[in-house]
Chain A
Amino acid sequence: MIFGVRHSVAVATTLGTLAAVIIAVFTWKGAQVTSETFLVTTYIGLFLGALWAMYATGLVVVYTTTGVFNFAQGAIGVFAAFFYWELHVNRGWHSILALFVVVGLFAPALGVVLDIVIMRRLRTASLVVQLMVTVAIMVLLLSVVGDIWEADTARRVPYLFGINNGIDLGPSQLPWHRLIVFVVAIAIAVAMRYLLRRTRIGTAMRAVVDNRELAALNGARPNVVSSTSWALGSMLGALGGILIAPELGLDPATLNNVVIIAFAAAAFGALKNLPMAVIGAMLIGLLRAHTVAWLDFGSDFRFAHLSIAPLLLLFVVIALPQARLEVGRLVHHLRRHERFTKWWEGLIGCGVIILLAVAFSGGWLDFGIWDPGAWGSRELNSANEAMALALIGLSLVPLIGWAGQINFAPLAFAGFGAFVYLKVIDGGWVTFLGLDRLGLDPQDIRDIDNGYWILLVGLLCAPLGALVALPAARLRGLYLALMTMAFAQAMSLIFFPNPWVMPIIGTGRQFPHIELFGVTFDDRRGFFLLLMCVFAVVVYALVLLRRSRYGRRWMAINDSQAAAATLGVPVVWTKVVVYALSAVIAGIAGVFWATVSGNVDSVQGFDLLIGFNIVLLVAAAGVSIPVAGIFLIFIPLFTGLGHRLEDSGNVDFLVTLLDIMTTYGPGMLVLGMVFNPRGAIFEMGRGFSPILPWRSDARAEIAAENAQKREPEIGELGIERPFTPEEVIAIDRRLGILDEVVPKEGYGTARS
């Protein structure tokens, strides 16, 4: 400890400041700093900070009063902002009335509905399910916004009191709106602090998170209290969204991304401390304003100023001590009847996948319009994209499904793979490493079929996985989710937009067709076959891994790190391995993903929402089951089918249905996890077990459950009341003499 500060925090802060200073020196614009410009920049920073503080306040309040970290907090704001626009601008309501309807009526109602329909059932769910469900709510809310308010019209939410009225500040003007936002943000933070610490309802909100039963024994109404919490959190989100919308414009994605800044601010207060969260928000606001004013990162790093929040989030999550995150939370473990896939079963399954792919690619199956073999290039493209995403999804199976390490950055790993691939097949490294002096020529590298390099690409991605694993080794649950999200966001803002990393989309394809065994997979059908084969091979490798020692270790650290460590499992090393493995799979998948269309949009292509969607779909399918990755097929497959139906002039109804399934399917699927957290594939396997000859285990399990339901409680053994014939049968069954003894009527019963 130095002055009461932990070493890790002190070291990290020093290094961070040092790095910031060095970056600042090298990117200094050279603009003259006057006290006036400095002050104005500071005002802007404080104002931005106030906006984010409002979001952060909402997050902290929801987290402290419900125990759920709400990823949908920003999306609630987005919805509210659009709704406010609809009432105020589109329908001409007075701003105060519209504000009251949205923030005072709609938002609390939404909060209460969320609590009653979803959150109550999540109380005993695992953290993965909790996180996924709030992410799903976020995705769903954004889809609804996109559907109701289509992107084709330009919308603006006006400033309260107009942009031109305000206080004169010399070089610029401070509009009333911004002043109000600042005052409101601080007032809300103070009020919430007061509410949570100094009032009984606020105390009860926190008490319910700690121990619900005890709160009831004290006389608090737990359900009312948590509904109030959700209503309050929803109101704060809505107000934040409406006040921030005039500054950022009404774009769902932009508005939603604000929440990441709020995450960073909230992390400053260890997700529970309101004043610290507000200070964090102000700090980020000041950093952002002054960075934009004085520094120039050049076009290669044109989004660098946006990455301040994710970088700070990364930094804070890694550096801050993590006390008391898990206290008071009771997680009920599922009864797990896991059945290992035998090696030959996996082999058969993967063989079937490949056979289907061949049949599909060869166009041997004929189902008329539904026949994939008859698909055109557009549908095939969709299918190929789907398969590539499914491959990326597979990388999450060992990581999330087995080791329980949440990862929102599968796309960052995949993109890194694509980047490495490009550099490897280019051959430039031959000169760089000085191998040309040994007689090697970059052209030699380019002459080799590029497909062979994909394995090397996978291996080269492993260190990145290991790098992420190192901070991850001491993080758990929520902090891990935040860290990987910050990592993904930082990569997408700093690394990928760099033209040296992801070539700018030009006329031709930047990623060449894959060549393997002298064959160039330049035709979409062939490429699909290749993807299916790779998918099958990876699935099979995972099936074998699950049965291996490492598979057991991953499951062990998922169940209990402490217990695993006492058994001699090297926890850190086990985590490093699983991250590296995930990075290898994602990296290889990334190569195929980039090759589908030959280009990757370096900005849009790495949007956090896409990453969320991948994680969501795999989670909904059942993330511990390798074939779950194939669920990702659904989105592009439905899109493809939709195209096909449209092209053939088919009924609108089906097109609409498919459209709805594409838009809302993933979110709805994940909401399904509230009711069956083991995932769709698991339930499907159970559901179909009567007709699947090899699932005798599932049939036995179902039969046992049914028998338990039917069997009357034997309980008092006839002391208090006579046996009924059913009970006699039940006893006989338990004694194992059912077949021999035919129950006689009246046996042990007092005839009436």
Chain B
Amino acid sequence: MARATSPRRKTLTTIAAWSVALIIFFPVLWMILTSFKTEASAVASPPELLGADWTLENYADVWSRSDYPRFFWNSVVISLGSTLLGLAIAIPAAWAMAFVPGRRTKDLLMWMLSTKMMPAVAVMIPLYLLFLQLGLIDTRIGLVLALMLMNLPIIVWMLYTYFKEIPGEILEAARMDGAGLIKEILYVLTPIALPGIASTLLLNVILAWNEAFWTIVLTTTKAAPLSAFIASFSAPQGLFYAKLSAASTMAIAPILILGWFSQKQLVRGLTFGAVK
């Protein structure tokens, strides 16, 4: 029987949840507010809120100084492309690991995940040289490949976790009905695991969108995404915090909106299998 929750307890829990959420979101909120202030107001001490000078000038400046649509389109292509390619490789891999596990499957999974722990800078020069030889520097296809490889361990791990929850008997029944391997994965496994695949897709699009090492190292002008757009507004000498905040807000806005509308799937994806 479910335990009754007192109104007082419910109120306290709600306040606590909102407080934690506000603390986590505060830096982003402050950045958005700063983007609407003048540069002088942005660095005022103590920080200004109600008495600040509000302006849209920063957005106008950022827009006029950069080709935002090009950076945005590159981000869309790179993040979606790397995720879809990653899913195409990871679904069969996760199927094999979940339903036809070998003696070393767990070790293999751990090894794949351990590659994520390697500092990116350690492979910067070899990867750069490889991309140079293949003519992939400053190309969208190059970044799609690079980010797909970076995120593949996470995609495989997440899908493996979902697939493990699906009873093997369902796939067995499909096989007994004459379904081949491709049909089994495409028409039986994929529809059942669709919520899990959707949350994996969302999470990896976000990871690829926010990636700010390889996307800056491997691009110059043509394929540079929004991470490079933000980097172009950072200045070691001079106070341009308001403009930098405006550029950052423009860069994160699309993914923030996507995250807001898909939060149900994201939460489900991130907590899947956590409580049994």
- A-B interaction: no
Which B residues contact A (CB, under 8 angstroms)? Answer: none
